Structure 1
Amino acid sequence: MPIKEADKSYDHDKIEKKVQKFWKQEETFKKVNELREKGPRYSFLDGPPYCSGKIHLGTAWNKVIKDSYLRYKSMNGFSLRRQAGWDMHGLPIENKVEHLMDIQSKQEIEEIGIDKFVDKCREFALENKVAMEQQFDQLGVWMDWDDPYMTLDPKYMESSWWTLKRANEQNLLVNDQRVISWCPHCGTALAAAEIEYEEKVDPSIYIKFPVTGEKDTYFLVWTTTPWTLPANLAICANPEFDYVYVSKDGETYILAE
């Protein structure tokens, strides 16, 4: 058999498609699993990506790293369970569908009908699941795409509640108070990864606080958070600073020298 001359340049797209075609024609994934089926068991349950859109660099890198490690375990003789997973409900899905339906507030969802909104979220998540499967498959990721777990499956939700119930029965849950970020639109707590930052110019103002018992006399305060003023209960003075009385236009202000 003559040796074919190597290509003068590396064409990744051409090579990837050639390898993928070979794997599919030869059922390589199936044969590898059969070859290792008597080996020691190694079970992998995929930490699921959100079905809120097509894959991005982060999800692609995540899957490639997992796939590389699982191939390493397989080459070491392990019989692998490679179960894929999909996160298919929650705020990321809801927010995407709200934008698609031009919904501005949660009250509008009730007006449209919660059942209709839920159906649209399910449809949106399932469509993205199929698209992401195809993209992961194009990356060459070997997983059991035919039998994934999906968080919108009632059986999955029931198992989650069962696990929480068992944890409670064993006193493994802690009732605590934490300072958290809050989304006024969604009415829920926010994870750190869900917080988006941008550069903005905020207003700052000077405001007069009247001094009790002294006519036309005010503490002059500068604040960069004027939206907190309705809830103000006190102002602070620093015992290390010098303060002065300044008169202007018939009023007296107390401020730092």
Structure 2
Amino acid sequence: MSAGVGPPAAADDGASGAPHRAPFDPVPTHVLFPEMEQRILSLWRERDIFRRSVDERPADRVFSFYEGPPTANGSPGIHHVLARVFKDLIPRYRTMRGDRVPRKGGWDTHGLPVELEVERELGLTTKRDIEAYGIEAFNRRCRESVFRYVREFQELTERVGFWIDTDDPYVTYDREYVESCWWIFRQLWDRDLMFRDFRVTPHCPRCETSLSSHEVALGYREETPDPSVTVRFRLDPSAAAATPESLRLGDGVPTSILAWTTTPWTLPGNTGLAVDPGASYALAELGGEGTRERLIVAEPLLPAMLGEPEVLARVPGSELVGLRYEPLYEAGAWEGVEPLVLGRDAVCGQCLLRA
């Protein structure tokens, strides 16, 4: 490396006598980066560099890019810088390879982030508050809020050098976008790629909605105490006629099922108890006159849970399937859903019933 800091000096080529031109223009020793940034941004705008980087590539070498859209109802943060730089890498690389890369920007206008922001503005705290305010009026406020910080996002996008078409974006609440989603589902259905199934989904009791995979990834489970608990679920006395006689539900003594769970925070939404249809369960009576109660427990765990109570009956799990019980909390969003005992092979017969 040369000890000097200036550009290479012009030199005589020795043959023609013409001086060589320095390969680079002089580089200033004192750089004002904010000014440089503005000069580069102005150059891109004046020469329409992004548009030309797309239009001047061959039409038969298309590499399409649709941005995973941000939600613009809040100011962009430092995490958006990292995300937008990453988003720019592949389209820019493919452009440098000679591909024609149209880059469609988008805005996400759905989801809890939008709704929670509007709830805070309106002073709403529950789903019932939203219903009292009016669903249509609430949705209108949400639509108005989603583009509140678009200008800030566009400025950030330009300054970090993320080339994306934000002049003609897709918007997730537009009818055309929604219809496109339904069209895709129809194609999947026609190709027999859709199926119906059941799965356990984390649920937010405050918002009364399921948590998305992104919300789960925020780490709620790491911050949630995870004790196992044993809970009484009282059998519905009004269903005595449909209950096996061996359970003696009709004689007025409160009868409950002892259920064990490792996820007690799900109990507000409980609508089912699982038993092993092939296992044996004991009906035990505790207390004296006026304080009697009966508990149904997995028979192998009877001594550990209740000591040596009076056992009135032993019944297979299959006879418990279909019994109705009282919910622990007011029905709320689950009103109209009957809590039932269900048969599940996954339940261990050496365990209590699992909620």
What is the TM-score normalised by the length of structure 1? 0.73
Aligned to 2:10: none
In the alignment, structure 2 segments of 5+ residues that lack a partner are 1-21, 232-260, 274-294, 308-355
Q: Distance in 2 between matches of 1:225 and 1:178?
A: 15
Residues 3 and 116 of structure 1: is their aligned pair in 2 closer, same or farther, counting only changes over 3 Å? same
Cα pair 2:54 2:102 within 8 Å, conserved: no
Aligned to 1:6: 28
Q: Aligned pair 1:131/2:152, yes or no?
A: yes
Superposed CA deviations along residues 16-42 of structure 1, whole A, max 9, x for unmatched, are 222112211222223323322445111
Residues 238 and 13 of structure 1: is their aligned pair in 2 closer, same or farther, counting only changes over 3 Å? farther
Task: Decide which of 93, 104, 114 is 2:114's aligned counterpart.
Answer: 93
SS in 1 for 2:41: helix
Aligned to 1:67: 88
- Equivalent AA in structure 1 for residue 93 of structure 2: Y
Q: Aligned pair 1:155/2:176, yes or no?
A: yes
Q: Distance in 2 between matches of 1:153 and 1:201?
A: 41
Q: Distance in 1 between matches of 2:126 and 2:84?
A: 35
Task: Decide which of 130, 133, 141 is 1:120's aligned counterpart.
Answer: 141
Residues 242 and 140 of structure 1: is their aligned pair in 2 closer, same or farther, counting only changes over 3 Å? closer
- Structure number with the higher helix fraction is 1
Question: After superposition, where does 1:205-220 map in structure 2 within 5 Å?
Answer: none
Percentage of identical aligned residues? 32
Superposed CA deviations along residues 60-111 of structure 1, whole A, max 9, x for unmatched, are 2222122122122112111121111111112221111111211111112222
- Count of paired positions: 232
Cα pair 1:39 1:77 within 8 Å, conserved: no
Residues 21 and 238 of structure 1: is their aligned pair in 2 closer, same or farther, counting only changes over 3 Å? farther
Residues 190 and 31 of structure 1: is their aligned pair in 2 closer, same or farther, counting only changes over 3 Å? same
- Equivalent AA in structure 1 for residue 62 of structure 2: R
Superposed CA deviations along residues 128-158 of structure 1, whole A, max 9, x for unmatched, are 3333222212212111111111101011111
Q: Aligned pair 1:48/2:78, yes or no?
A: no
Question: After superposition, where does 1:134-213 map in structure 2 within 5 Å?
Answer: 134-195=155-216, 196-197=219-220, 199=223
SS in 2 for 1:157: helix
Q: Aligned pair 1:110/2:139, yes or no?
A: no
Q: Distance in 2 between matches of 1:142 and 1:106?
A: 40
Residues 235 and 226 of structure 1: is their aligned pair in 2 closer, same or farther, counting only changes over 3 Å? farther
Bigger relative contact order, structure 1 or 2, given CA contacts below 8 A and separation 6+? 1
Q: Distance in 1 between matches of 2:230 and 2:189?
A: 52
Aligned to 1:58: 79
- Equivalent AA in structure 1 for residue 90 of structure 2: Y
Larger Cα-atom Rg = 2
Question: After superposition, where does 1:3-42 map in structure 2 within 5 Å?
Answer: 3-8=25-30, 12-38=33-59, 40-42=61-63
Q: Distance in 2 between matches of 1:244 and 1:122?
A: 57
Which shifted more, 93-102 or 43-52? 43-52
SS in 2 for 1:20: helix
Aligned to 1:251: none
Aligned to 1:213: none
What is the TM-score normalised by the length of structure 2? 0.55
Residues 200 and 156 of structure 1: is their aligned pair in 2 closer, same or farther, counting only changes over 3 Å? closer
Residues 201 and 152 of structure 1: is their aligned pair in 2 closer, same or farther, counting only changes over 3 Å? closer
- Equivalent AA in structure 2 for residue 7 of structure 1: T
